[in-house]
A = this chain, B = another copy of it.
Amino acid sequence: MSTRPGRAAGRARHNEGVTTTSANSGRSTARAGGTGAGRRRTKGSPALASERREHLVRLAAELFAKKGFQATTVRNIAEEAGILSGSLYHHFDSKESIVDEILSGYFDELTASSRAVVERGGEPREVLSALVRICFDALEPHRAAVTVLQNDWNYLRDMPRFGYLGKAENEVEQLWLAEIERGRQAGIFRADINARLTYRMIRDTIGVTVRWFQPGGSFDAGDLADHYLKVLFDGICVH
């Protein structure tokens, strides 16, 4: 379902407005059609360096999800990886750039999938279902990102570097609003509901799920989506 774009094609890094003093400011992944001479530090294959990096990001993601971004120290991450905290700076610019990588990965996928679903078109109820399912489906692969967004949004939103988060959110919102509106015009959705309110309600409800959702527990993300769509479309009352 997800049209997951390759990393190179996706939105690159998002360090707008950030002064980068060190040499290692951006991602060190290969850039498509790179113009400058990409920093190559790794002697072996670039793929290996990238693997190490991705591994570190995954470790960090887990910690961010478990303890929150602020409460996770660079030392925590390094310990988890079995190295010293200073050594992390060989791979990343800063703690922020790690979380950036995590969040942008999530948003790249979310916006791309959402756009694709809407472009494909179909019954508003089906499209809306698909949008909802995209969010639920992200709960497992992007658990950390969603969690950080839930818990540390307050902290991150004020940082210029993460301005893109708001923009991406907006783009997704517009897609939803249009679809809800379309359903209303078509007489499928009730006229007396407020589209924005409804959107917020749905998105928030899904996001906040990470706080108690256990992958591998009694429900999987699909069950959650089924249940939620049922209530969303028809309410909890018997008709």
Contacts and interface: CB of A to CB of B under 8 A. Distances in A.
Contact of A36 (B34, B81, B200): B81
A212 B200 contact: yes
A184 B61 CA distance: 41
A155 B71 contact: yes
B190 A32 contact: no
Given A67-B154, A80-B32, A233 B236 contact: yes
Interface majority SS (helix, strand, loop, mixed), chain A: helix
Contacts of A37: 82
Copies in the complex: 4
A190 B237 contact: yes
Interface residues of A, number: 64
Contacts of A75: 22-23
Contact of A238 (B23, B76, B180, B188): B188
A163 interface: no
B227 A34 contact: no
Contact of A230 (B147, B192, B224): B192
Interface string A228-239: 101111111111
Given A81-B34, A237-B233, A197 B224 contact: yes
